[in-house]
Amino acid sequence: MLIHLPVRDYDSYGRGRFGAQRGDRVHNGQDYACYPGTEITLPFDGQVTKIGYPYEDDLDFRYVQVSDRDGLRHRFFYVSPLLDLGDIVLANKTLIGKVQHISERYPINRRHPRGMINHTHYEIMDPYNNTIFLDPITFLAKWK
Query: In angstroms, rounded to a whole number, what is the distance separating the alpha carbons of residues 95 and 29?
Result: 21
pLDDT of residue 106: 83
Query: In angstroms, rounded to a whole number, what is the distance separating the alpha carbons of residues 49 and 39?
Result: 19
| 2-143: CATH architecture | Distorted Sandwich (2.70)
How much helix, strand and coil, in percent to the nearest 5, is found in the chain?
Answer: 10, 35, 60
pLDDT-based confidence at residue 144 (cuts at 50, 70, 90): low
What is the radius of gyration, based on Cα positions, of the chain? Answer: 15
Q: Is the pLDDT of residue 73 over 90?
A: yes
Q: Give pTM, 2 decimals.
A: 0.90
Q: How many CB atoms lie within 10 A of CB 56?
A: 6
- Domain range summary for the chain, segments of one domain joined by +: 2-143
Q: How many CB atoms lie within 10 A of CB 46?
A: 22
